């Protein structure tokens, strides 16, 4: 029997690997020197392995119903390096499909037309915007994930810079620094830090991939003078959850060198609760204290937004099946909240959630239409929201899923809504997912005006990515997204 077919398939794989290897330094140079983020249908190609790049290309088949190989995108990435591009997010997947449909040709000429807004816009002096200082007040689960994302996105140093973390002192400072660095370096859920980390005990700094992060020890915001560390006009990200109102969070603004505060929890009173992708345009230059809402609110609001716009939502119930958090107990012990004192890894714990009511802060049109409850379950990360909705328009599961698939792939909500259509996925498959929520198409139920949707979300990593997007908005870090929709 001839082995030619299998040999051909293997050779094709080998050739694609070689092209992906060549693409990696090109993608890196575009990122570091031009502040150009290359994506493939919303999935970043920067700092990705050869196999990951090949898998992302395979993903296009689900999107467009056509194959897109590295051989199709390689000439475009290569040509991008010749065009002196200015800062932008460039989707080479969408460009590759369009280039392939026109039969290929001159890649440089094609890109000069498609990317005309950023061609020859690179500033070699690096004057594409002043770096914005960021301080993490607290260094727990969310704080450390935020640190990872911020370090990863540092690029050419022209975006957000993580300058410091603020924590309480715990005895021996040198030992404390090593422990903080170790927690950043190794994570039982998210795996090892992608890069190098070192500690300077004398300077009280942690250096992660060349980013020097000052560790400031303080028991309260009033004790901190950021200007003493060369930090100025910083956004302070409070990830402790201790203060949730203007009076408490206002303490950060009283510190020298701090200009704004961002809370990684639902805010109280008149504080704006922002879900990036939905109501981030409500932010103004005068807003100095902002809330990034909760992980659950971020997961469900984008899906509810598009459903309400397309089908209308009469009313509904949101049930969250939530991973346990460090607010709960390892074994039975006292907790001020009902039921939360019981052992987290041994029980399913019925509790309350404010996510349903919080939806109205981002989507006022849904005020009073949703109820909610939560069940904490024995898994450390990745949660699920079950949306049981009564719609204004009739639909079926196929039409509903097709609509949500399109929203996840080619809409303004591409980074908020992900979509999966596999009968085999489970919660751990979504660890590290950067979207606010992931629609599980196989679980969708729709009958007339009644619909039930299951939305997964990485309540740590996905939420942290949303927080960073708000940070960029607060800091006026904006990128063109090319090609333009409908182009």
- Residues marked as catalytic: 295
Q: What's the rounded Cα separation, in Å, for the pair 41 and 60?
A: 7
Give the dihedral sign, CA 391/397/403/405: positive
**The residue count for the chain:** 487
Which ranges of 368-455 would DSSP assign to H, the alpha helix? 397-409
Contact 354, 414 (CB under 8 A): no
Angle between helices 107-114 and 70-80 (to 10 degrees): 70
* Direct distance between the N- and C-terminal alpha carbons of the chain, in angstroms, rounded to an integer: 49
Instruction: Assign 106 to helix, strand or coil.
Output: coil
DSSP 107-134: HHHHHHHHTTTTTT---TT--S---EEE
- Residue whose C-alpha is closest to residue 50's, from 91, 12, 96, 17: 17
453, 439 in Cβ contact below 8 A? Answer: yes
* Whole-number Å distance between alpha carbons of 150 and 163: 10
CB 73 within 8 A of CB 196: no
Q: Return contacts of 416-421, CB within 8 angstroms, 24+ apart.
A: 416/276, 416/277, 416/278, 416/298, 416/302, 416/466, 417/302, 417/303, 417/306, 420/456, 421/62
């Amino acid at each position: 029997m001839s082995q030619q077919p299998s040999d051909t398939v293997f050779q094709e794989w080998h050739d694609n690997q070689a092209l992906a290897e060549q693409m990696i330094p090109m993608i890196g140079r575009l990122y570091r020197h031009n502040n150009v983020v290359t994506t493939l249908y919303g999935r970043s190609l920067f700092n990705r392995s050869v196999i990951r790049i090949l898998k992302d290309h395979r993903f296009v088949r689900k999107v467009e119903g056509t194959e897109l190989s590295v051989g199709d995108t390689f000439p475009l990435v290569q040509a991008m390096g010749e065009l002196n591009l200015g800062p932008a997010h460039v989707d080479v997947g969408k460009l590759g499909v369009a280039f392939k449909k026109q039969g290929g040709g001159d890649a440089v000429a094609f890109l000069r037309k498609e990317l005309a807004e950023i061609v020859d816009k690179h500033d070699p002096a690096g004057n594409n915007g002043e770096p914005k200082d960021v301080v993490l007040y607290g260094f727990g689960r969310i704080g450390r994930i935020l640190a990872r994302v911020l370090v990863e996105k540092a690029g050419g140093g022209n975006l957000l810079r993580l300058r410091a973390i603020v924590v309480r002192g715990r005895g021996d400072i040198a030992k404390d620094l090593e422990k903080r660095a170790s927690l950043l370096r190794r994570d039982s859920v998210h795996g090892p830090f992608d890069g190098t980390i070192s500690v300077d005990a004398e300077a009280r700094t942690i250096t992660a991939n060349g980013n020097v992060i000052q560790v400031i020890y303080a028991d309260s915001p009033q004790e901190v003078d950021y200007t003493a560390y060369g930090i100025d006009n910083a956004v302070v990200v409070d990830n402790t959850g201790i203060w949730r109102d203007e009076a408490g969070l206002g303490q950060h603004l009283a510190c020298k060198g701090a200009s704004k505060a961002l809370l990684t929890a639902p805010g109280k009173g008149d504080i704006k609760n922002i879900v990036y992708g939905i109501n981030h345009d409500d932010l103004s230059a005068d807003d100095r204290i902002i809330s990034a809402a909760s992980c659950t609110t971020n997961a469900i609001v984008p899906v509810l937004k598009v459903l309400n716009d397309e089908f209308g939502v009469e009313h509904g119930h949101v049930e969250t099946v939530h991973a346990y958090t460090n607010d709960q107990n390892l074994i039975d012990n006292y907790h001020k909240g009902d039921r939360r004192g019981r052992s987290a890894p041994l029980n399913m714990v019925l509790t309350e959630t404010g996510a349903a009511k919080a939806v109205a802060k981002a989507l006022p049109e849904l005020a009073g239409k949703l109820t909610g409850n939560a069940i904490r379950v024995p898994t450390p990360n990745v949660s699920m929201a079950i949306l049981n909705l009564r719609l204004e328009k009739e639909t079926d599961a196929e039409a509903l899923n097709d609509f949500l698939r399109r929203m996840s792939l080619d809409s303004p909500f591409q980074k908020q809504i992900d979509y999966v259509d596999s009968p085999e996925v489970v919660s751990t498959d979504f660890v590290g997912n950067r979207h606010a929520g992931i629609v599980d198409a196989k679980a969708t139920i729709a009958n007339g005006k009644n619909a039930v949707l299951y939305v997964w979300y990485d309540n740590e990593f996905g939420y942290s990515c949303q927080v960073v997007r708000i940070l960029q908005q607060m800091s006026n870090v904006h990128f063109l997204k090319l090609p333009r929709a409908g182009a």
